[in-house]
Amino acid sequence: MKNNLIKIVGFGHYVPEKVMTNDDFAKFLETSDEWIYTRTGIKKRHISGEESTIDLAYQAAINTIKNSNYDVNKIDLIIVATITSKLRTPSVANLVQARLGINEKHVMTFDINAACSGFVYALEVASSLLLSGNYKSALVIGSEQMSSIVDWNDRSTCILFGDGAGAVILEKSNDETDKVYFYNGSKGDDKGILWIDPKVKMDGKEVYKFAVDIMPKAIQKVLEMSPYKLEDIDLIVPHQANIRIIQSVAKDMNLSMDKFLVNIDEYGNTSSASIPILLSEYKSKHKDKKRALFIGFGGGFTWGAAIMNI
Ligand code: UT7
């Protein structure tokens, strides 16, 4: 990407109020808090009930706009990463435009399906469109109502996921330190290792192997595309699927876990929402600029790595 200067000017997220603990699962499944916590690092997750992927996306958008005191009328591109919309059309992004009251503006809206890597894919697409000069302000959202697509009788999958949404607003930057780099990719899963058809079906062990293999490789690759070394990265923001996967990446790369943002204990795996929720929580407490590396992996198979300032 030439002249690849992009800045994030707003962060926000939204999770439904209702919380489901591991003990709640033990009431209807043969499982336990001990099994779930030691195998995954998850203690609880938020579950939406009535609120759809669109509601979650809209709330995250509103919070992002409020947090950054942003003029909604400036937004001319909305991209939502999601795999859980009930509607084939219109897109979630299209409905967010309507709810934000900017239907009369020139805005391009669409959704991206790249499972848990979707948010990082959407960041690359949004950045490219901003750099093309055709758009000036991109609202990028990851929103998932995973509770609507899990099989509540399958103890090996339903305990993993949670609902929520996170968002950022991107603009072109003039600051030479705001260079962005992306390494997004995929490897077709024609064997049904992680499919949603119509509910989540997953070979957990295979996904685990894929994740611990691809994450260090993708981190290395995006670093090679940039002028930076691992030690130049302040924070790693990994997709939250399993704490053991993150620990394995840290060990593999000889890094302290302190370098990784983690909130899986509280939210479970929120698919494309996990990275923007982490970002929003972090930025609500830390205002100084940091160089971050985002790393996601997911169904497809897909992976996404990015270096951006936050
Ligand atoms: O965003 C990407 C989405 N997916 C992932 O990242 C998933 C990656 N994979 C994983 O995180 C792990 O593979 C899991 C957490 C899904 C499973 O952990 P595991 O250590 O690979 O367990 P396992 O599948 O080998 O199962 C071990 C045992 C089995 O019993 P047997 O066959 O040994 O008797 C399972 O039936 O644990 C059993 N089991 C459970 N027991 C209690 C599976 N789920 C549960 C459960 N509670 N919820």
Which pLDDT tens digit goes with each residue over 228-250? 999 999 999 999 999 999 999 99
What mean pLDDT value characterizes the chain? Answer: 97
Annotated active-site residue 269? The verdict is yes
pLDDT for the residue 1 = 55
Is 106 in the active site? Answer: no
Active-site option among 184, 239, 242, 309: 239
pTM score of the predicted model? 0.98
Asked if 272 contacts 164 with a C-beta cutoff of 8 angstroms, the reply is no
**Of residues 22, 63, 94, 269, which has the active-site annotation?**
269
Q: What percent of the chain has pLDDT over 70?
A: 99
Nearest-CA residue for ligand 1 atom 37 is: 156
Residues in the chain: 310
Give pLDDT, residue 3. Answer: 79
Q: What are the residues facing 12 on neighbouring strands?
A: 167
Which of 63, 94, 116, 309 is the catalytic position? 116
Residue 271: its pLDDT value, please? Answer: 98
Q: Whose CA is nearest to atom 6 of ligand 1?
A: 241
pLDDT digits (tens, 9 = 90+) for 124-149: 999 999 999 999 999 999 999 999 99
Report CA(158)–ligand 1 centroid distance (Å): 11
CA distance 243 to 229: 24
The verdict on the CB of residue 289 being under 6 Å from ligand 1 is: no
Question: Do 112 and 122 meet the contact criterion of CB atoms below 8 Å apart?
Answer: yes
Residue 106 CA from chain centroid, whole number: 26
| Token pair for 147 | 């509770």
The verdict on the CB of residue 248 being under 6 Å from ligand 1 is no
Handedness of CA 93, 96, 100, 103 (dihedral sign): positive
User: pLDDT by residue (tens digit) across 4-42?
Assistant: 999 999 999 999 999 999 999 999 999 999 999 999 999
Closest by CA to 75, choosing from 136, 148, 166, 153, is 136
Using the mean position of ligand 1's atoms as its centre, give its distance from the Cα of residue 30 in Å: 13
Tell me the residue type at 301: F
* Confidence (pLDDT) at 2: 58
Question: Which residue is associated with the tokens 């930076």?
Answer: 228
Question: For ligand 1, is residue 37 a contact (CB within 6 Å)?
Answer: no
CA distance 72 to 204: 41
Annotated domain spans of the chain? 1-310
DSSP string, 170-187: EEE---TT-B-EEEEEE-
Calculate how far, in angstroms, residue 209's C-alpha sits from the geometric centre of ligand 1: 13
Domain 1-310: state its class.
Answer: alpha beta
Atom of ligand 1 nearest to the CA of 244: 11
Closest to 53 (Cα-Cα) out of 85, 83, 81, 80: 85
